[in-house]
Amino acid sequence: MDFLNPVIDGFGVVVDPMNLLYCLLGVVIGMLIGVLPGLGPAATIAILLPLTYGVEPVTAIIMLAGIFYGAQYGGTITSVLLRLPGEASSVVTVFDGYVLAKQGRAGTALGIAAIGSFIGGTVSIIGLTFLAPLVASFALDFGPPEYTALALVGILLVSTISGGTRIKALIAASIGLLLATVGRDAFTGAERFTFGSLSLADGIDFVPVAMGLFGVGEILYNLEERHRAASAPAKVANVWPSRADLRQSSGAIGRGSVLGFFLGILPGGGATISSMAAYAVEKKRAKDPSRFGKGAVEGVAGPETANNAAATSSFIPLLTLGIPANATMAIIFGALLIQGVTPGPQLISEDPELFWGVVNSMYIGNILLLILSIPLVGLFVKILRVRGAILAPITALITILGAYTIRNSMFDVLLVVLFGALGYLMKKFGFEPGPLVLAFVLGALLEDNLRRSLLVLDGDVSGFLSRPISAVLLVIFVLVAVLPIIKSATAKRRDRKPTRVSADS
């Protein structure tokens, strides 16, 4: 019962009218952003960061969380109706969702997606409620060596699991680590990479980096890529699936909930990988895999359930360990720091109202998502018809004004423009900005704890292996780093064998 008391008190925080309003606002904005192809929750949260300054921390994070999981379903609408994935996690929904729409079953696809999203999100919230305190209590044993190893694993996982080629992700992460060293050394006070600029003496602020890479960079890239015209949306008839559809998709929803929950916890996992993994699982389990890509209901139910479950469970490493699992979590991490809240194992005990207020708001947000998902479809499709040439300048102006209002500094505006250009070039040449932002966030954590560890261990690096938790994490680090190399070498050997046989013959 002692455990349930703060959980129950958290509902008291959620039912506050202001928090309910911001929860509704976050879900609606998230759905809208999910519908608009290319922008995404990371860019939106980065743009809206300045607006959270004037509200209470719990209210701000409730809204930002709503944007994140709301965007997962918003992307489904255009994937099904227009064959345009509004979110990266909705790409696989196109395969069967659009085919169902062409068959006159768009309502069935959207209904299954809404039900799966609700169930997956709810299962994940329940898991978050019970698992997060256990992770936090376990994390209390973490010292500088453990946080050093955890940060290393997080950066490597994000670099190796994220989209795009592995080498490009590693390069982006390396740039992020380099940017994290700019400013005054916390231990010696020496200035590093400031080039004599007083504006850089305190380091590069997180907000201009996020707003530039995900805001301005995405806007520029999407303007260039807007050549693909949207087709006429399919008509939405009955949105409630039949009993046969529900029976057929029930297993996919159950598996997607569990798979998405666990993949969302992993650094570098998140909604996109979870949805792809769920689709692959359903196709392998199917008695007739040829149905997939031709309108299989499970091909919509599994991925849509998994991406919402993953969006929720990714809050576990953020809130309990202070480790963001993906790019959007990195920006919410920055929002927490801006609000004076430090995520980590002490958060549950030191600020239970914020922790349980945010967690419990997801129950309400999921219900709102289920209620609003279908009635707003027509409105979202109309918004899609607004030209990008009109939306892009408005969004860019809001981003620049938001950057200036943070500290009333033109230097921050300059940083946003510079990182916007960098974000555009990264997207254009196939570099994902996510690893850069995560490495930038984790870079300070990695450096501070590494140097503290070396002081505690008197410079003896082998001391990392004498502590069980850090030793296990370092073993995981080595395995993640070495396994792709072994797989690549094995694949090359297999490719060579047929060639030799044919040469001998």
At 354-365, the pLDDT tens digits run 889 888 999 998
42 CB neighbour count, 10 Å cutoff = 28
Q: Where are the alpha helices (DSSP H) in 140-205?
A: 144-161, 166-180
* Three-state SS at 254: helix
How far is residue 332's CA from residue 350's CA, in Å, rounded to a whole number?
19
Rounded to two decimals, the pTM is 0.71
- Once rounded to an integer, what is the mean pLDDT over residues 287-293? 84
**C-alpha angle 112/129/73, rounded to 5°?**
25
The answer on pLDDT for 499 being more than 70 is no
Residue that is written with structure tokens 């202070």 in the block: 322
Q: What is the CA radius of gyration of the chain?
A: 23
* Three-state SS at 2: coil
The answer on pLDDT for 177 being more than 80 is yes
Most confident of 75-89, 388-402, 458-472: 458-472
The answer on pLDDT for 171 being more than 60 is yes
- Once rounded to an integer, what is the mean pLDDT over residues 251-277? 81
When pLDDT is cut at 50, 70 and 90, the band that residue 255 belongs to is very high
Most confident of 125-129, 162-166, 369-373: 125-129
More confident residue, 123 or 218: 123
How far is residue 26's CA from residue 45's CA, in Å, rounded to a whole number?
10
Q: Are 127 and 239 in contact (CB under 8 A)?
A: no
